[in-house]
Chain A
Amino acid sequence: MNMPGTDIPVIVQRVLPVTPDQAFDAWLEPAQLRDWMGPLTDVQVDPKVGGRFRIVMGREDADGGPIEHTGEYRELDRPNRLVFTWVSQYTDGESVVTVDLSPDPAGTRLVLTHEGLPADARDGHAEGWGQFLDRYLAGAESLKA
């Protein structure tokens, strides 16, 4: 897939106290999405491969209105995996989110991978701190080797 963003994905993990089926459904049911992604001013989902979603998140700070997130479901393999595209004012066109679910002794392990994100927004937010840290991390990594 040819995406304009960086090669560095965001990977976030959690172990959730539910079954994989329950964890899967929380991504597709509007009532559940309102509860954990919210506050949402609008949520529309068409949960099938090729179907689209629209999630509008309210924002409490003054510097802007609600944030719209839209995308298309690419893969819905209950209860193992969801893949969907993710577009917002903070993405450089289309990015891709993959949610992998697997059984864990404590419930379900969720691994979220967000790929194709723009590099400039990631560094720009931090006013250069990101680039500063990248330089020293490169140095620190080479010391480990």
Chain B
Amino acid sequence: MDMTWRIFNPMVERSQTALLDDTYASLSHPVRREMVEILSEAPHRVTEVAAPFDISLAAASKHIQMLERAGLVERRISGRDHVLSLRAEPLEAAADWIDPYRRFWESKLDRLDEHFRRKG
């Protein structure tokens, strides 16, 4: 899996760790998890994503903005419709990071690389 993806938000290139922080923070709220679940089925309008919740549109918008900030959700504006869709890459990075075996080998191979650079 390609772990070199980056997003620009705006003008500032954010580190992988900061993106993971954003991913987990944005998935730490039940409303946002349900929004992600809705968008995992198909792209939806902002109003459709907000509709199932007993919260104001303004509150729903804040949740959506947090998902956008984490790069989990992308907004396309077509006329008066704001259409949201899910981006897979941050979820894939989060799933990779969470695998303890991957973390084990990533850290060992980092050290192998350092080992050769010290010797070199």
Interface residues of A, Cβ cutoff 8 Å to B = 10-12, 14, 16-18, 22-23, 26, 32, 35-37, 90, 110, 112, 114, 117, 121-122, 125-126, 129-130, 132-141, 143-144
Contact check, A17 vs B116: say whether CB atoms are below 8 A apart: yes
A16 to B33, CA, bound (A): 39
Shortest Cβ gap from B93 to chain A (Å): 10
Hey, which bits of chain B sit against chain A, CB under 8 A?
Answer: 1, 27, 33, 36-37, 39-43, 85-88, 91-92, 94-95, 98-102, 105-106, 108-117, 120
The answer to whether B88 and A141 touch across the interface, beta carbons within 8 angstroms, is yes
26 pairs from A and B in contact (CB 8 Å cutoff): A10-B105, A12-B105, A12-B109, A18-B116, A26-B112, A35-B115, A37-B111, A112-B109, A114-B105, A117-B101, A121-B100, A122-B99, A122-B100, A125-B98, A130-B95, A130-B98, A133-B95, A135-B40, A136-B36, A136-B40, A137-B91, A137-B92, A137-B95, A139-B41, A143-B86, A143-B88
Given contacts A133-B91, A143-B85, whether A12 and B106 have CB atoms under 8 Å apart is yes
Residue of A nearest to B115 (CB): A36
Give the docked Cα–Cα distance between A140 and B71 (Å). 13
Given A130-B95, A139-B41, A140-B88, CB of A122 within 8 Å of CB of B114 = no
Known contacts: A134-B95, A144-B88. The answer to whether A139 contacts B40 by CB under 8 A is: yes
Q: A10 to B109, Cβ gap below 8 A?
A: no
Residues of A close to B43: CB separation below 8 A: 143
Instruction: Tell me which residues across on chain B come within 8 A of A126, comparing CB atoms.
Output: 98
How far is it, in angstroms, between the C-alpha of A84 and the C-alpha of B44 when the chains are bound? 48
> Shortest beta-carbon distance, B88 to chain A, in Å?
4
Q: Are B101 and A114 in contact (CB under 8 A)?
A: yes
